[in-house]
Amino acid sequence: MDLIWLIPVLPGIGAALNGLVGVRYFDKRTAAYVACGTMAASLLLSLVAFAQLLGLPGDERFHQVTVAEWIPPIPLETAGGIGSFEVPWAFTLDPLSGMMILVVTGIGLLIHVYSVAYMDHEPRPAYARFFCYLNLFCFFMLLLVLGSTFLVMFVGWEGVGLCSYLLIGFWYHKQSASDAGKKAFIVNRIGDWGFILGIFLVFFTFGTLDFHAVAELAAEMPVEAAGMGVLSLICLLLFVGAIGKSAQIPLYVWLPDAMEGPTPVSALIHAATMVTAGVYMVGRNAVLFSHAPMVMEIVAIIGLATAIMAATIGLVQTDIKRVLAYSTVSQLGYMFLATGVGAFAAGAFHLMTHAFFKALLFLGSGSVIHAMNEEQDMRRMGGLKQYMPVTYATMGIGALAIAGVPLLSGFFSKDEILYRTFLHNRLFWMLAVVAAGMTAFYMFRLIFMTFYQEYRGPAWEGGHGDHGEHHEDDGGDHAWHGPHESPRLMTVPLIVLAVGAVLAGYVGVPAALGGSNAIEHFLEPSFVAHAGEGAHGEAAHLSHLAELGLMAISVLIAGLGIFLAYRNYIQRPETADEWAERYAGPHRVLTNKYYVDELYDATFVRGTMVGARGLWGFDGGVVDGAVNGTGWTTVASSRISHVLDKHVVDGLVNLVGWVCQEGSYGFRRVQTGLIQNYAFATLVGVFAFVTWFLVGR
Amino acid sequence: MLEAAVFYTLAVLILGLGILVISARSAVHSVLFLVVNFLLVAILYVTLSAQFVAVIQVLVYAGGIVVLYLFVVMLVSLKRAPEQHADTRRLGVTGAVLAGAVLLEVIGIVVSGAARSDAPAGARGAGVPEAISDPMLNTEQIGWVLYTEYLIPFEVASMLLLVAMIGAIVLAKKNL
Amino acid sequence: MAALGFSPSDFYYLLPELILTAGALLLLLVNVIVPRRDDLLFGLSMGTLAVSTLVLLSFAGVDIVISRGLLAIDGFALFFKLIFLVSAGLTIMMSAPYLRVEGVRAGEYYFLILCATLGMMFMASGIDLITLFIGLETMAIAFYILAGYLKPSHRSNEAAVKYFLLGAFSLGILLYGMSIVYGMTGSTRLDEIAVALAAQDRSLVLSLGMILLAAGMGFKIAAVPFHMWAPDVYEGAPTPVTAFLSVGSKAASFAMLLRIFIEGLAALTPDWQVVFAFLAVVTMTVGNIAAITQSNMKRMLAYSSIAHAGYVLIGVVAATERGVVAALVYLWVYLFMQLGAFTVITMLRRRDVVGDELKDMSGLFARSPIAAVAMLLFMLSLGGIPPTAGFMGKVWIFGAAIDQGFIWLAVVGVVNSAISLYYYLRVVVFMFFREETTGSEITIGPALATALAVGVVGTILFGIYPQWLFDQAQNAAALFGSTASSAMLR
Amino acid sequence: MSNAAGFPLLSLILFTPLVGVVLLLLTDRRQEDRIRWIANATAGAGFLVSLPLWFWYDTQDAGWQFVERLAWIPSIGAEYFLGVDGFSALLILLTTLMGVIGVLSSWTAITVRVKEYYVFLLALQTGMLGAFMALDFLLFFLFWEVMLVPMYFLIGIWGSDNRLYSAIKFFLFTLVGSVVMLLGILAVYFYNHSVTGVYTFDVTQFHQLNIPDGLQWWIFLAFFLGFAVKVPMFPFHTWLPDAHTDAPTAGSVILAAVLLKMGTYGFIRFSLPIVPEATAAFVPLVVGLSIIGIIYGALVAMAQKDWKRLVAYSSVSHMGMVMLGMFALTPVGITGSIVQQLNHGISTGALFLIVGIVYERRHTREIAEYGGLSKVMPVYATIFLVMTMSSIGLPTLNGFIGEVLILQGIFVVSKFWAFVAASGIVLGAAYMLWLYQRTMFGNVTNPKNEGLPDLSMREIWTFVPLLVLAVWIGLYPKPFLDRLETSVDNVMARVSSDYTPRLAAAGAQAGQREVPSGTAGAQAPVRGGTR
Amino acid sequence: MLEITPLHYTALSAALFIIGVIGVLVRRNIIIIFMSIELILNAVNINLVALSSQLQNLVGQVFVVFVIAVAAAEAAVGLGIIIAFYRNKETVNIDEMSLMRW
């Protein structure tokens, strides 16, 4: 277990190899082997470490490794006197991080393997670059997960943001891709702004940045039920960071755009791992959050609102990846809802199951896109079931899982969340259930539009259909022979993930269904300050029967969603359009994603740019001009001084400058060359002094 | 009484001639007024019992310098009226007014100073011989002071005159 | 023998002056006996200066009053006399090639330079108004002639007329001031004046005398508003004469000014401090601001020299030993940088080029890197950028002002020195950044090379290791300051 | 005070570039390659001789090290007094390293007046090194001013379009500040004399003065003007974009990497310890200006169309950050400030090199002229990316360490300031990424860019040290922070009377440092804690 | 009024001095300006002699001797300069002497 630091470092080495040497010298195979090999090694280590962790008694499952000093101790004032600002490179393995490293390395490895085939048509340097980024991402993600202090986590936090930026903009020659990358990074930075301030406040309050130490200290502070105390402020700031990273309202806008990246990237980063970092972070600081009930409430509300809003937008999207993206946003909202109502374990559980089925769905969509020659619009697909059965089957499983169909993983985790929400607030529960229904609807809308109905895509050589379209995409540099099943390297990960999506839920079968909710008990130590201490808020309980009733309701709603999708897209495909016409207003709002992007663009982006240009003008015109005016410089560039004259009014310095310049000419003008005027000046001097002495002394 | 009469007469004449010097149209007239002025000043010196200075005044100024002036005025045979061309930027009149103001100030200061302590409280320099009203003694005294106490400046003055001489030659000679 | 007013020892201590006089007279003779031997005349005058300097140096540490209280042979005088002799030597060195190009006779020219130096030496030594006045006039008359020495040149003529007329006019003012001081104290000897003034109340009449004296001296040091002759005369006079005028004459006038005001009018210190403070401020400001738009090098340096007089006046205003040291140090380093700059301008005077316009400096670096780099040094030094001597001078000046609480004066001073860099750098721009050139090749003869070398060495040496200079200046000011401060204490 | 080297190491470092100058002067101006070799060899030698400062530096010695002290101008008490602490040692190393890089990067960029160019570059090097070493205030000022001239020429002769204007602006701006600073120096000098009766410019002596409040204010303002212009702080920054834009690449690199550090160095070395009370009194002003600088610089950078000018404005923003950390007057803040100075030197220096490389190929700095360079110059794009990330403070790279320390340092002083300043980070990401996108991403739209060659081996080598440093400081800054410990503590001991230097504390309670101070926080429940 | 004190002489001297100054300021003929300067010097001399007489101190008169010597020297040089100037410009008008300005 002392070698856990190797878990992130291995992919890091892979990234370095591929980045420094690979781009120039590796052929595709080598690059792929390096990347997958390091990931596999990392997975292996994770498994061993996890096994060792399991081998420990429940309340001792905490292991910290300090690799090196990072920032050596520097004295600094804190709220409690002079503290010592000190950050080591330290890693923590506990149940929560243990689960996470498994998810990251496991799904990471699968996606690496998948990418080997998916990215095959890329040129060699780009191929190596891709794997370099992917490995780098895993490095940072594992750092984030394993880091035992806030700052180490922040390193991973920012690092995954960077990788996300790089991978979204992987096809940098596409304007939209590089735009999306930039947007992701900058929006994330806004979140990071809150996060880092939260970290500062943590240090200021506790004098340490170690999660464990902070949790222990925080546990001894009173719960801030009545008002916003310092803990609430910390949590709020941290949550701002989580909002950015996990794409919650109002900072969710980057995630749908991030779909510009290659699909494996979407699967790994924007579904399975990175975007859940916010949830993970909140879970990491469960003790802090549970001392700030008001913030918890905010977390829950934002999570819920995001879940609903994203689900509604997902209803009308036509881009296959965007549907999945909004679905991700929505599911993340669920996770926050869970943490917000205090069900940290449920949130983490859903995080894990979601990682499986969402990665599966993305990879499946990637497979479809691959098959359709980079076509992403569902309206141009249809009837693919016959061409790619494996993809169809696995995606179907994924959709069932996310829709919450019983006995699949999503069912268990989602119902746990809904149950806990119900305990917390019934209104929340109702809304969450509605969102779940919408999820089912749009997921099956996706399945139906893609795999059922008629084939609506472009024609291929020798194939049927005659409405050939010109493709801008240069991805298809080889002739396209119609939709086809993806190669083995892609389907195997799909199958593995599908198995996962089915089985992952069984680690957390609720008691109502006769399970023991193993995952919850396993994770519990990570959410309390002292192992063995009981979890909070376990007071309210429902009978198993009521719990089963709730499950039934949510299953019913999900079934309703699926049915509606079936009716609208299989039975009567025209209904969709009818509805769209009938509710034209709402439909437009939804297709335009509530105009949030436009709103942000008009306010923040444009505002900033206008401000920036204005300041520049100010800088060039006034501040600079003011200085230019100071005579000496003016003469050097008469042209500039000419322009300057217009700015003379602006400020005293400017005036001084002008006086200075004119003064020089003035003094010269006095120098008339006439001797008598010179003598006159002398006389003036004498007169002035005499008068001064006469009057003043 | 007589002293006052003499002084006022001389003062009026000196100032009047001074004004004539600076206001005469022709340079030649100016020079002539200047000679008379110098002579009157010499008389003034006599009334102040500075006979030696008076003699020098007559010899050097009236005899030497003015002749030089006259000589130059003649030499500079004017082909056009010297004051024809006037530069408009010249502050002549303003200057005259300002000079008048300075004069008022100076006289004011002198008068006020005199009013406070009716004579400047001068301390006589140590070892400086007293001036004696006897004309012969005055000359002797001055000679004594000049050749003992002020010997070095006197020598320097001789160099100064040599410089002036050489300079005048250098400047005035046509092809040197 | 005391009754005669002098003793043989007086002549011993006047040996440097006597040698100078003898040399000057010999020069006249040789000029007549062996005509057209400019090199001989050059050697003779340089030799005279050298011997005079050597003798002078042997008086180091002497502090006596000779000639019945008219002359002081002290460190202060020694310091200034060195400035005069060195600047005269450098002037003659740069004159030799210049006169050849201009085609004028050298004999009387060297004679006049030596006589002007003689006058200056009396200005530094004199502690009596008459002596000072005679010294001043000896120098001034020599300069009147030198300014007009290029007789065919209209500009030279005009410079002479202007300098002469205004000089005579200001002489009248100065003399009137002296007569008032004499009337109020009954003496022309500075020590007696100091004693007499200390015994009486301050009166307006005295203030009037002081103002007139300040105006008269202000003319000589070219302080605003008595400065107006300077640009025109500097521009018109032969370049080496301008150099000598701006260094020697200015230093001598400062010597006289320091003697009169700090030693003689010590009792009036608060009064003349305000006068000079005002003069310093306007002088620096007007000098620098007017200089920034000049296109003629000599004219620009004239304004710059006006501004420098302003800096030195700050030292005078401080009116302490530190202030005097500052003034001395400044004048000494000013000697090297100003003369150096004029040496370069002299260099540019060739048969076909007048060489004193700013544009004549164009591409100097390409044509003569050594001259350009030297000029760069002089410009930086004038602007007060280390590690040049000018910086050390400014440190002293501003230090003296701050020491005495004249912080505002120091602030004006430093702001001005920053402004001044603008026009000094303009020269650099022309020399280094422009390509076009004018006129024939520049050749640096041995005399000019020596002058340039002295300027460069002085500028750098006193910038990097000024200890020797500071010691000398402190000695000079200490001997001088002892009498001054005793009078100042009243 | 000691000299571990046993020989005048600092003088050796100081005068090595001058030896090069002399050698260059003796070389025929037409043998350009030989000149280049000499210059590179000298710069390399300069770096090598400065390395002992890293290895021989004793982090346990709180005094000045490698001290050399000779009489210079006894009559005014000025001395040839050199010595370093951790702070100046690091800056000296940065200077010598940047010297190598600057000289190396000029190999092909400079084709006219080669000899003079290297002469000025090396002379500049001596000036900068001297300023960092001098412990005599007059000597410091001398070197401080000496730097101006070579830089003026570098901009004025080898600069681009508006070079004369920029050069003079640079010169005069800095000069005005520094002459006023000179007055401040003199005021301290005379005050010291009035107290001790000794005329001296010894900075270590000044560090022990307790100057009365009123005088402190004035001295602080005088110093402030001098240093703030150099930094440059917000209202005094306008010379910077011009100077940077027009300077040749090496000039910009050195200007950004080293020259700007003069100002911050001055603050830490002189303002803070000599006039601590005034420093404390002026914190709101300086912090306010710094924060304005951070935001303002970032916003203006965003509006730029000129690549180099954008980087220049980013400098304004970053240096605002440096000033902010310094005037937190907390050990973490000051440490961060110093680290950030190094970081700024590394990343901004590299960014200017980056601009210089395409400028050399294309002779334009218009961002719009570029685009899609990733395709034609992948190595270049990669390096640019790393440096962009370093500049915007991405963790694992150097910038992050500095920013975190600075913000943490200011946070404990005022939450509000930290809130506002941290938002500069967001803007920083925005303009840098936008720049990166506009230049590197997209398709090659401008046909002139199609044939651009990627970096040559020489060019890569100019970046390698910077990349290594960026990663090193990002991942393991301990060696750097250890070296700063005593420097920061000495300053802190002046600005805060109850501060206990770490070295002393460690000596007093040897081994008891592990006691987490956080427990103190737990005992006293915290309420908001805004001061 | 009737008792003639040094004050009277000083006033006379001041008046003459100012007359000279006015002459310098208003006339355009250089030669007349020179003569005005002579008036100024004379004013100084009157002052000195009167003070000397009043102080019973000969130094003032010695001073006058020197002033007269200097006046003579100046006259010689000044007139030499005028002649040199006149040779070139054929004028003694001071207003035509503004070649160098600004």
On the question of pLDDT at A204 being above 60, the answer is: yes
pLDDT tens digits, one per residue of B58-69? 988 888 888 888
B156 contacts in C (CB within 8 Å)?
118-119, 122, 131, 134-135, 138
Residue to test with chain C: of E77, E82, E83, E90, most C Cβ within 10 A: E77
Q: Read off the tokens for A641.
A: 């001084």
| Range with lowest mean pLDDT among A133-147, A331-345, A372-386 | A372-386
C115 → closest Cβ in B126, B157, B159: B159
In the numeric block, the tokens 């230097």 are attached to D501
- For residue A54, the model assigns a pLDDT of 84
- For residue C482, the model assigns a pLDDT of 47
Mean pLDDT computed over A597-618: 66
- For residue B119, the model assigns a pLDDT of 45
What are the two backbone dihedrals, phi and then psi, of residue A267, each rounded to the nearest 5 degrees? Answer: -65, -50
| Range with lowest mean pLDDT among A455-464, B160-169, C147-156, E59-68 | A455-464
- pLDDT band, very low/low/confident/very high, at D14 (cuts 50, 70, 90): very high
Mean pLDDT computed over D52-69: 88
On the question of pLDDT at B30 being above 80, the answer is: yes
CA A614/CA A608 separation, integer angstroms = 10
Question: Which residue in chain B has the smallest CA separation from A670?
Answer: B89
Residues 6+ apart with CB under 8 A from A565: A440, A441, A442, A443, A444, A445, A447, A448
In the numeric block, the tokens 């005077």 are attached to C349
What is the span of the domain harbouring residue C349?
7-479
Which residue would you say has higher pLDDT here, A488 or C195?
A: C195
C208 contacts in A (CB within 8 Å)?
690, 693
Task: Note whether residue D306 is domain-resident.
Answer: yes
Residue to test with chain E: of C115, C179, C296, most E Cβ within 10 A: C179
CA C180/CA C193 separation, integer angstroms = 12
C129 contacts in E (CB within 8 Å)?
63
Task: Note whether residue C180 is domain-resident.
Answer: yes
A615 contacts in D (CB within 8 Å)?
296, 299-300, 303
Mean pLDDT computed over B135-152: 81
Q: Quick check: bond before D479 cis, omega within 30?
A: no
Residues A356-369 as b/e (b if ≥16 CB within 10 A, e otherwise) read bbbbbbbbbbbbbb
Q: Which of these, D359, D344, D332, D333, lies nearest to D247 by C-alpha position? A: D359
Q: Is D183 within 8 Å of C387 when comparing Cβ atoms? A: no
- For residue A654, the model assigns a pLDDT of 46
On the question of pLDDT at A539 being above 50, the answer is: no
Asked if residues D471 and D397 have their Cβ atoms less than 8 Å apart, the reply is: yes
- For residue C488, the model assigns a pLDDT of 40
Count A/C contacts: CB-CB distance under 8 Å.
83
Task: Note whether residue C465 is domain-resident.
Answer: yes
E51 contacts in C (CB within 8 Å)?
179, 182-183
Asked if residues D218 and D282 have their Cβ atoms less than 8 Å apart, the reply is: no
Which residue would you say has higher pLDDT here, A138 or A468?
A: A138
Which residue would you say has higher pLDDT here, A339 or A77?
A: A339
Residues of A with CB under 8 A from a CB of C: 631-633, 635-636, 660, 663-665, 667-668, 670-671, 673, 675, 677-679, 681-682, 684-686, 689-690, 693-694, 697
Positions of chain C with pLDDT lower than 50, given as ranges: 1-2, 481-490
- For residue A170, the model assigns a pLDDT of 83
Q: Using CB atoms and an 8 Å cut-off, which of residues 234-293 of chain D contact chain A?
A: 235, 237-239, 241
Spans of all domains in chain B: 1-78, 131-176
- For residue A359, the model assigns a pLDDT of 86
Residues of E with CB under 8 A from a CB of C: 6, 10, 13, 17, 20-21, 24, 30, 33-34, 37, 40-41, 43-44, 47-48, 51, 54-55, 57, 59-60, 62-63, 66-67, 70, 73-74, 77-78, 80-82, 84-85, 87-89, 94, 97, 99-101
What is the span of the domain harbouring residue D468?
282-497
Query: Given CB atoms, is B87 within the 8 Å cutoff of chain A?
Result: yes
Which chains pack against B, by 3+ Cβ pairs within 8 A? A, C, E
Q: Is B37 within 8 Å of E42 when comparing Cβ atoms? A: yes
pLDDT in tens, chain E (102 residues): 567 777 888 889 999 999 999 999 888 888 889 899 999 999 999 999 988 888 888 888 999 999 999 999 999 999 899 888 888 887 788 777 777 776
Q: Is A676 within 8 Å of B90 when comparing Cβ atoms? A: yes
- For residue A192, the model assigns a pLDDT of 86
Question: Which residue in chain E has the smallest CA separation from B115?
Answer: E7
CA A384/CA A372 separation, integer angstroms = 9
CA distance B129 to chain A (A): 34
- For residue D304, the model assigns a pLDDT of 77
Asked if residues C148 and E89 have their Cβ atoms less than 8 Å apart, the reply is: no
Task: Note whether residue C314 is domain-resident.
Answer: yes
Domain B1-78 has CATH 3.90.1150.10: no
Strands C64-66 and C71-73 come out as antiparallel
On the question of pLDDT at D366 being above 80, the answer is: yes
Task: Note whether residue C387 is domain-resident.
Answer: yes
In the numeric block, the tokens 């190797």 are attached to A6
Asked if residues C337 and C388 have their Cβ atoms less than 8 Å apart, the reply is: yes
- pLDDT band, very low/low/confident/very high, at A314 (cuts 50, 70, 90): confident
Q: Which of these, A119, A129, A122, A136, lies nearest to A39 by C-alpha position? A: A136
Structurally, how many domains does chain C consist of? 1
- For residue A470, the model assigns a pLDDT of 43
Kindly state the percentage of chain D with pLDDT values over 90: 38
CA C44/CA C110 separation, integer angstroms = 9
3-class DSSP string for A356-390:
HHHHHHHHHHHHHHHHCCCCCEHHHCCCHHHCCHH
**Residue A547, CA atoms < 13 Å, CB-side half-sphere:** 19
Q: Is A196 within 8 Å of D165 when comparing Cβ atoms? A: no
Q: Is A683 within 8 Å of B89 when comparing Cβ atoms? A: no
A683 contacts in B (CB within 8 Å)?
95, 98-99, 102
- For residue A695, the model assigns a pLDDT of 83
A676 → closest Cβ in E24, E99, E101: E24
On the question of pLDDT at A503 being above 70, the answer is: yes
| A537 dihedral zone (left: phi>0; alpha: psi -120 to 50; beta) | left
Q: Which of these, D133, D153, D164, D160, lies nearest to D69 by C-alpha position? A: D133
CA A106 to chain centre: 20
- For residue D530, the model assigns a pLDDT of 39
- For residue B115, the model assigns a pLDDT of 57
- For residue A637, the model assigns a pLDDT of 32
Task: Note whether residue C490 is domain-resident.
Answer: no
- For residue C441, the model assigns a pLDDT of 78
- For residue C310, the model assigns a pLDDT of 94
Q: Read off the tokens for B72.
A: 């130059």
Q: Quick check: bond before A487 cis, omega within 30?
A: no
CA D440/CA D382 separation, integer angstroms = 10
Question: What residues pair up with A64 in beta bridges, in sequence order?
Answer: A92
Q: Mean of the per-residue pLDDT values for chain D? A: 86
pLDDT tens digits, one per residue of D237-284? 878 888 888 899 999 999 999 999 999 999 999 999 999 999 999 999
Structurally, how many domains does chain D consist of? 1
Which residue would you say has higher pLDDT here, A518 or D123?
A: D123
E77 → closest Cβ in C145, C152, C182: C145
Q: Mean of the per-residue pLDDT values for chain A? A: 78
Question: Which residue in chain A has the smallest CA separation from D302?
Answer: A612
Residue to test with chain B: of A668, A677, A697, most B Cβ within 10 A: A677
Q: Using CB atoms and an 8 Å cut-off, which of residues 668-687 of chain A contact chain E?
A: 668-669, 671-676, 679-680, 683
Q: Which ipTM did the prediction report? A: 0.87
A676 → closest Cβ in B92, B106, B109: B92
Q: Quick check: bond before D232 cis, omega within 30?
A: yes
Task: Note whether residue D16 is domain-resident.
Answer: no
Query: Given CB atoms, is A688 within the 8 Å cutoff of chain B?
Result: no
C167 contacts in B (CB within 8 Å)?
none
Task: Note whether residue D107 is domain-resident.
Answer: no
pLDDT tens digits, one per residue of A102-113? 888 888 888 888
Asked if residues C353 and C439 have their Cβ atoms less than 8 Å apart, the reply is: yes
Question: Which residue in chain A has the smallest CA separation from B96?
Answer: A680
| Range with lowest mean pLDDT among A500-504, C90-94, D171-175 | A500-504
Residue to test with chain C: of D182, D193, D199, most C Cβ within 10 A: D182
pLDDT tens digits, one per residue of E31-42? 889 899 999 999
CA E98/CA C129 separation, integer angstroms = 35
CA distance E101 to chain B (A): 12
Which chains pack against A, by 3+ Cβ pairs within 8 A? B, C, D, E
Question: Which residue in chain A has the smallest CA separation from E101?
Answer: A673
D300 → closest Cβ in A70, A79, A612: A612
CA C302/CA A331 separation, integer angstroms = 83
Cβ-in-10-Å burial (0-12, 13-18, 19+) of E99 comes to middle
- For residue C451, the model assigns a pLDDT of 93
CA distance A672 to chain E (A): 5
- For residue A647, the model assigns a pLDDT of 41
